[in-house]
Structure 1
Amino acid sequence: MKAVICENKALRVDTLPDPKPERGQAVLKVLRCGICGSDLHMRTHCDHMSALAKRVGYPFFPTSNDPVVFGHEFCGEVMEHGPRTNKKIKVGTRVCAVPMIRLKDRVDLTGLSPTAPGAYAEYVAVQAAMMEPIPNGLSSEVAALTEPMAVGLHAVNKSDIKKGDVAIVVGCGPVGLAVIAMLKARGVRTVIASDFSAGRRALAKQSGADMVVNPSDNSPFADWKDYGFIGELPQLLELGVGTREKIDAVPKWWHAWRLAEAAGLGPKRPVVFECVGVPGVLNHLMEGAPFMTRIVVVGVCMEADRIEPALAINKEIELRFVLGYTPLEYRDALHLLAEGKVAAKHLITGQVGLSGVANAFDALANPEKHAKILINPSDTLLGDKIAVM
């Protein structure tokens, strides 16, 4: 089969043996595969990511010298079942699959490992139990967005956001856009999106953002007073003393206080989703955010960063870090797309064949032109060109 191999930061199309399904596996003909930001990171920061993976007990991540077939955002057609599979999903069925595969001694990450080739190829091996049939005639193009949409869904789930909370999404690349779409699917009434790129701000509006902000002109926290947030310490001190004074005449005032807290009548705060992953952004958000803001860190910063803990302590900023998704969230994301509850087709800005992948990596550096480029391994007519969607 033809596949795109990354080795020493270079991308090339080469011929590899067709995958054979091992026990519990299936082989898919790749219909579409998205180019993920983590693939771009892998190409340039592979050794750093490998060292980091070892620190969390995963020694199987590739180094820059390892030839790797990327591709973990994909859908395909079932071609063959391996032994010990129940075959309940028939050959010829279009499916998506969580990009994790069981090898003899471990579970590996498809497309992020030299021993688990991904879907920048004509065929890919998957774990049969991780396959999900594509429902409702959803197009292969949109189905290939299931994986990044699941990342957005997981971030929203982990945020514990409520419909009446104000959500602020900082960074409107594909993951930020997925977060916006999932926030609106959750019914969050106010979603503010911030990005320097006019093109990405336009996509944020299409994804459901109620307000978009250019941080060059205005801070996403500029209107904190309009939402009843606390932006300064004297205001917080006044709230504590003033509330106590107001209920001083109430017998056993502490019961009233507890009831008010249980009813959610305490200070309001936004939920911020950091989807940039660039050094300095996190501390900048802590500096500008109102008191008691919850910051959900979704963007993957591949460099060492510095924050001021005392700043976060004095403002009682809450930090939550998230990664990936569960198989259930993956299935839910697919069905949200298929049922029309989440719109994502507008995120697809280009399509390439295998020979155009290197050019696509370069093109994705321009946020004004592209958000998500899909690979169609069967398309040999495009050559190294990118078809604009």
Structure 2
Amino acid sequence: MKAVVCQNQQLRVADRPEPKPGKGHVLVQVLRCGICGSDLHARQHCDHLGGLMLRSGFKNPMRSSQEIVFGHEFSAEILEYGPKCSRKLPVGTRVCAVPLIRREKEIDLIGLCEEAPGAYAERMLVQESLIVAVPNGLDAERAALTEPMAVGLHAVHRGEVKKSDTAIVIGCGPVGLAVILMLRTLGVRKIVASDFSPARRELARRCGASVVVDPRENSPYTASKKSGFITDAPGMLELGVGTREKLGMLPVAWHRSWRLAEALGAAPKRPIIFECVGVPGMLQSVIDGAPLFSRVVVVGVCMQSDQIEPALAINKEIDLRFVIGYTPLEYRDTLHMIAEGKVDPLPLVTGTVGLGGVDDAFTALARPEKHVKVLIDPGSGVKVA
């Protein structure tokens, strides 16, 4: 079987042994696989990422000396079941799967460790309990985008965004665009998108952003007209003192009115900010620019050590949340949202290559003006994205 392996930062097509499904496993034929930003990171920073995995408790972290087969965003077709499977779906069914696999007592990350080869291959193993049948005859390209779109859905859920909120998305790469698509799908009307790339700003507009900003020219935090956000400490003090003075003019005890207002959900207006860049300094930049009381959801994965100034975030009472992945339910729901036409992620796809074109595709993805998401078709001979 042919697969693309990464070893010592080099990508090459190699002959690999045929996967043999073990207990609870399903052998599938890969139809499409997306190249993820984490794959780009893992190629260059494999040992660093492996160290982070080890510190997080994973027993089988990747190492640059190993032959790693990337690929955790995929659609596939069932070929064969292993022992102890329920076999509820017939052979030939098109499926997607949460990229985790159980081996004995360990659960490994598919495509991010040597023991669980991913979908940069003709065939691979997945966990039967985590497969989801592709509904409504959805094409393989859109189905393969379930995984990154589920990341966007999980981030929006973690942000607890209401339809009336203002959402600000910093960075319009694949993750930021997935967040924008999910925000729009869930009915959020005020979506501000910020990116240096004109091409990606235009994609953000197509995906549903209502305001698009070049951060060299305008601040995304002030782009929403009449937002009502509090932007400085004196404004916060005026809110507290002014509210106390106004409630003191009522014919009831001011503290009872205050408690009632809080019970009814009264709170200062604030945006939900999605940081989708993941480079050193970006988080501090958000803290510097964000209005008071902002909720910041960190979706971009920064692989290096970084510094922030906690006192400024404290003075602004910024709510900082970090997210990773999604639940199996969010994954299933995302696939059905795509299949039912509620969200269309296909505009993110800017190229398709075969296994022989993966190395060049990694290079091409460094050019944001041309590429956002490149898919791999293992049966294709195309070498240029």
The TM-score with structure 2 as length reference comes to 0.98
* 1:361 to 2:362 alignment: yes
Question: What does 1:208-219 correspond to in 2, within 5 Å?
Answer: 208-219=208-219
Shift of 1:385: 2.1
For each residue in 1:182-205, what CA deviation from the matched residue of structure 2 results, as whole angstroms up to 9, or x when unmatched? 111111111100000111111111
CA contact (8 A) 1:30 1:119 kept: yes
Give secondary structure in 1 for the equivalent of 2:342: coil
| CA distance in 1 between partners of 2:259 and 2:275 (Å) | 32
| CA distance in 1 between partners of 2:45 and 2:301 (Å) | 12
Deviating more after overlay: 264-273 vs 167-176: 264-273
Give secondary structure in 2 for the equivalent of 1:257: helix
**Equivalent residue number for residue 75 of structure 2:** 75
1:108 counterpart letter in structure 2 = D
| CA distance in 1 between partners of 2:271 and 2:229 (Å) | 8
Shift of 1:20: 1.0
Shift of 1:262: 2.7
Question: What does 1:166-205 correspond to in 2, within 5 Å?
Answer: 166-205=166-205
CA contact (8 A) 1:120 1:377 kept: yes
- 5+ residue gaps, structure 1: none
Question: What does 1:47-62 correspond to in 2, within 5 Å?
Answer: 47-62=47-62
Give secondary structure in 1 for the equivalent of 2:321: strand
| CA distance in 2 between partners of 1:170 and 1:223 (Å) | 13
CA contact (8 A) 2:211 2:224 kept: no
* 1:231 to 2:231 alignment: yes
| CA distance in 1 between partners of 2:380 and 2:149 (Å) | 25
**Equivalent residue number for residue 14 of structure 2:** 14
For each residue in 1:272-292, what CA deviation from the matched residue of structure 2 results, as whole angstroms up to 9, or x when unmatched? 000000000100110111000
Determine what percentage of the aligned residue pairs are the same residue.
Answer: 59
Give secondary structure in 2 for the equivalent of 1:176: helix
Shift of 1:50: 0.8
Shift of 1:133: 0.5
Give secondary structure in 2 for the equivalent of 1:3: strand
Shift of 1:32: 0.2
Size of the aligned set, in residue pairs, is 384
CA contact (8 A) 2:270 2:291 kept: yes
What is the aligned-residue RMSD (CA, Å)? 1.0
The TM-score with structure 1 as length reference comes to 0.97
| CA distance in 2 between partners of 1:255 and 1:190 (Å) | 34
**Equivalent residue number for residue 385 of structure 1:** 384
| CA distance in 1 between partners of 2:267 and 2:107 (Å) | 45
| CA distance in 2 between partners of 1:269 and 1:107 (Å) | 39
- 5+ residue gaps, structure 2: none
**Equivalent residue number for residue 164 of structure 1:** 164
Shift of 1:261: 2.1
Give secondary structure in 1 for the equivalent of 2:297: strand
Shift of 1:255: 1.9
Deviating more after overlay: 242-251 vs 317-326: 242-251
**Equivalent residue number for residue 257 of structure 1:** 258
Give secondary structure in 2 for the equivalent of 1:295: strand
Deviating more after overlay: 218-227 vs 33-42: 218-227
**Equivalent residue number for residue 96 of structure 2:** 96
**Equivalent residue number for residue 270 of structure 2:** 269
CA contact (8 A) 1:108 1:116 kept: yes
CA contact (8 A) 1:112 1:118 kept: yes
| CA distance in 2 between partners of 1:189 and 1:262 (Å) | 26
| CA distance in 2 between partners of 1:247 and 1:346 (Å) | 51
* 1:46 to 2:50 alignment: no
Shift of 1:225: 6.8
**Equivalent residue number for residue 121 of structure 2:** 121
CA contact (8 A) 1:31 1:74 kept: yes
| CA distance in 2 between partners of 1:288 and 1:50 (Å) | 33
| CA distance in 2 between partners of 1:204 and 1:33 (Å) | 23
Shift of 1:238: 1.0
1:254 counterpart letter in structure 2 = H
**Equivalent residue number for residue 152 of structure 1:** 152
**Equivalent residue number for residue 86 of structure 1:** 86
CA contact (8 A) 2:74 2:144 kept: yes
For each residue in 1:107-128, what CA deviation from the matched residue of structure 2 results, as whole angstroms up to 9, or x when unmatched? 0010001000000000010001
Give secondary structure in 1 for the equivalent of 2:45: helix
**Equivalent residue number for residue 278 of structure 1:** 279
| CA distance in 1 between partners of 2:307 and 2:313 (Å) | 12
2:329 counterpart letter in structure 1 = L
| CA distance in 1 between partners of 2:211 and 2:344 (Å) | 18
**Equivalent residue number for residue 25 of structure 2:** 25
Judged with a 3 Å threshold, the aligned counterparts in structure 2 of structure 1 residues 224 and 262 are, in CA distance, closer, same or farther, namely farther
For each residue in 1:17-57, what CA deviation from the matched residue of structure 2 results, as whole angstroms up to 9, or x when unmatched? 11111010101100000000000000001111111111111
CA contact (8 A) 2:101 2:126 kept: yes
Question: What does 1:343-362 correspond to in 2, within 5 Å?
Answer: 343-362=344-363
| CA distance in 2 between partners of 1:40 and 1:174 (Å) | 13
**Equivalent residue number for residue 312 of structure 1:** 313
2:245 counterpart letter in structure 1 = E
Give secondary structure in 2 for the equivalent of 1:61: coil
Give secondary structure in 1 for the equivalent of 2:243: helix
Give secondary structure in 2 for the equivalent of 1:324: coil
Shift of 1:178: 0.5
CA contact (8 A) 1:224 1:231 kept: no
| CA distance in 2 between partners of 1:44 and 1:198 (Å) | 27
